[in-house]
Structure 1
Amino acid sequence: MRVKKQRRHRKIVRFYTACFGFREPFKVLCDGTIVHHLISVKEPVGNEAFASTLGGPVKLFTTRCVIAELKRLGASCSQSFQAANDLAVARCDHEKRKSAVDCILDVLGDNNIEHFFVASQDVELRKSLREKPGVPVIYGLRKALLLEPPSDFQRQVVKSAEEKHLNMTELEHKLLQKRTKIGMGNYTVNDDSDKLESLGDRHVESQTLTMSNTRQNGLGVKDRPQFKRKKAKGPNPLSCKKRKNHASQAHPVNQVSKDGDNGSTKKTRKRKRSKKGIKAGETVS
């Protein structure tokens, strides 16, 4: 079960790092409820518990309004107050102390520029944070800390942002129109509008193709997979016969014939005689 939980947390952290730019060390903004919960279950309020949940180094933060709220609660939250004082303080710039929920929402803003993970046990705060883009939420369950998966609203924000990147902006559209006008500068204004539109479309298509080719070539990416053609190779030299020396065959060594002519080039064969038929005492003539 623990392995499945760690795998799920890694997947959620990867989503926020890829889509919203969260980086290590991760910043965790704690309110008084999560601090009080950890103390009640006798868990240390430190970086180790959150680091094991997020799978990376962590730095814990709180606000002055949260500390002031814990102080107002009295002796019942004295240990939580002391533990919150040991955390780093995030700047909230509130002259009059607000509630912890309002203070945390003001620190996060609309887009969570500081990339805070929010740790809280407040159900209403967690519901409101699901409607903010790029705000991951951590909550405690007994002695474990759990990371909430991204809400449907956050996933929709990421999807719409990707669609915007795929389409042209107004500035890019104006630049493209200017380039098409420059490309069609050789044609007169009195030409038919249909011809101009067709030429403009052709120019835009060719221009986009050339731009894509230059970008891909600049990045070292090829448009199509280029397969190497197999060239005809020579024969294996080890399987071939040795080359004959024609010069030695054309002019063989001159041998003397029986007639004594030095110019003749006849080859003489030696006759081997066997000694089987020779009787003892007879001499070979």
Structure 2
Amino acid sequence: MRQKRAKTYRKLMSLYSMSFGFRQPYQVLVDSEICKASVDHKIELAKQLGTVTQGEIKPMITQCCIHELYLQRGQQPAVDLAKTFERRKCNHREPIPGDDCVASVVGDSNKHRYVIATQSNPLRSKLRSIPAVPVVHINRSVMILEPASDTTMRAKALMEQQALTSTSSTEKAILNSSSTSEPPPKKKRGPKGPNPLSVKKKKVSDSLPANKVKADQRPKEKRVAIEADNEGDADGSRKRKRPAGEEGHGAELNVVEGESSTGSRKRKRRRKGTSSSIANVNSHSEE
């Protein structure tokens, strides 16, 4: 089978599967005429039916069609072929013609989802008026799957329209409950709060005293020196270091005892040469 034809048949069977519920293995109902045609053209009927339908199949035949083959002379190969297929009960007590038997089995809606393989032109024209009935026939030793009939396409469009417009019982209950219930309250629109990510954090100065903040903000070396000075003030003995240039000259700065209660100190500075001048005056007075 050519690729283009196989693609067409695959699309056609997918239409029957999706719209009308056909499933694999497909039930293929054959009649006596196509059995005779397959023997004449030397066609493997079951294999070709699987190729045309693009899937697994289950070939079936009615008892009336087999009886029709028995009545014809020289059709033993066709009878042997028909016996290999599964028997489909048609519930006819007396045998009737094969076309009428197949038409009665299919019915008005093909509820059992049969694929009909027949060579009878009257039966094929009758099946085209029934929706969802795939028809297969042999044309010059080539098996052909007929395109979907107009009745089938109208039934497909009607089913799609009903699926879009119809509502189930649960959907109706939901719609009724939503219509009777009160509408949800509207949200009040107003000024929103600030973005928490854009708000600045509180400063340390807001939570600490001013003097402590200033002391904490000073460099570490200055804070250590200030603490040492405060300790010296508490003891009452504070001395100032002599400068490096005044060593050996007798110059020093002493803190005068008797400080006032306010912590103020009086300093007395001795000048150079005062000690020597006092000694000379004392020596002259003794003489």
Correspondence for 2:72: 73
Q: Does 1:207 align with 2:205?
A: no
Q: Does 1:51 align with 2:14?
A: no
Deviation at 1:209, TM superposition (A): 11
- Secondary structure, in 3 states, of the residue corresponding to 1:154? helix
Tell me how far apart the structure 1 counterparts of residues 217 and 223 of structure 2 sit (CA, whole Å).
Answer: 14
Gaps of 5+ in 1: 180-202, 211-231, 235-246, 264-285
Tell me how far apart the structure 1 counterparts of residues 24 and 147 of structure 2 sit (CA, whole Å).
Answer: 19
Tell me how far apart the structure 2 counterparts of residues 166 and 209 of structure 1 sit (CA, whole Å).
Answer: 26
Q: Partner letter of residue 93 of structure 1?
A: N
Tell me how far apart the structure 2 counterparts of residues 34 and 157 of structure 1 sit (CA, whole Å).
Answer: 28
Correspondence for 1:188: none
Tell me how far apart the structure 2 counterparts of residues 56 and 249 of structure 1 sit (CA, whole Å).
Answer: 88
In structure 2, relative to structure 1, the CA distance for the partners of 1:126 and 1:250 (3 Å cut) is farther
- Secondary structure, in 3 states, of the residue corresponding to 1:114? coil
In structure 2, relative to structure 1, the CA distance for the partners of 1:120 and 1:132 (3 Å cut) is same
Kindly report which structure 2 residues correspond to 1:68-107, keeping only aligned pairs within 5 A, or say none.
68-75=67-74, 77-107=75-105
Deviation at 1:256, TM superposition (A): 12
Deviation at 1:19, TM superposition (A): 1.2
Q: Partner letter of residue 144 of structure 2?
A: L
| Deviations 1:121-150, CA, capped at 9 Å, x for gaps | 112211110000111101122343221111
In structure 2, relative to structure 1, the CA distance for the partners of 1:207 and 1:44 (3 Å cut) is same
Kindly report which structure 2 residues correspond to 1:15-30, keeping only aligned pairs within 5 A, or say none.
15-30=15-30
Q: Partner letter of residue 25 of structure 1?
A: P
Correspondence for 2:256: none
Number of aligned residue pairs:
199
- Secondary structure, in 3 states, of the residue corresponding to 2:19? helix
Deviation at 1:53, TM superposition (A): 1.4
Q: Does 1:251 align with 2:237?
A: no
TM-score (norm 2): 0.60
Q: Partner letter of residue 53 of structure 1?
A: V
Q: Of 129, 132, 139, which residue of structure 1 is paired with 2:130?
A: 132
- Secondary structure, in 3 states, of the residue corresponding to 2:115? strand
Q: Partner letter of residue 59 of structure 2?
A: L
Deviation at 1:34, TM superposition (A): 1.3
| Deviations 1:150-172, CA, capped at 9 Å, x for gaps | 11111112222333344458x97
Kindly report which structure 2 residues correspond to 1:201-280, keeping only aligned pairs within 5 A, or say none.
207=179, 250-253=218-221
Q: Of 152, 155, 170, which residue of structure 2 is paired with 1:154?
A: 152
- Secondary structure, in 3 states, of the residue corresponding to 1:74? coil
Correspondence for 1:4: 4
Tell me how far apart the structure 2 counterparts of residues 205 and 167 of structure 1 sit (CA, whole Å).
Answer: 20
Deviation at 1:63, TM superposition (A): 0.6
Deviation at 1:109, TM superposition (A): 1.0
- Secondary structure, in 3 states, of the residue corresponding to 1:98? coil
Tell me how far apart the structure 2 counterparts of residues 52 and 101 of structure 1 sit (CA, whole Å).
Answer: 25
Paired-residue identity, %: 29
| Deviations 1:82-141, CA, capped at 9 Å, x for gaps | 111111111111111111100000111111111100001112211110000111101122
Q: Of 111, 114, 117, which residue of structure 2 is paired with 1:116?
A: 114
Tell me how far apart the structure 1 counterparts of residues 146 and 181 of structure 2 sit (CA, whole Å).
Answer: 44
Root-mean-square deviation over aligned CA pairs: 3.6
Deviation at 1:204, TM superposition (A): 6.8
Q: Partner letter of residue 251 of structure 1?
A: P
Larger radius of gyration: 2
Kindly report which structure 2 residues correspond to 1:131-210, keeping only aligned pairs within 5 A, or say none.
131-167=129-165, 207=179
Correspondence for 2:34: 34
Correspondence for 1:184: none
Tell me how far apart the structure 1 counterparts of residues 117 and 96 of structure 2 sit (CA, whole Å).
Answer: 18
Tell me how far apart the structure 2 counterparts of residues 209 and 141 of structure 1 sit (CA, whole Å).
Answer: 65
Moved over 3 A (4+): 164-169, 203-206, 247-250, 252-257
Correspondence for 1:197: none
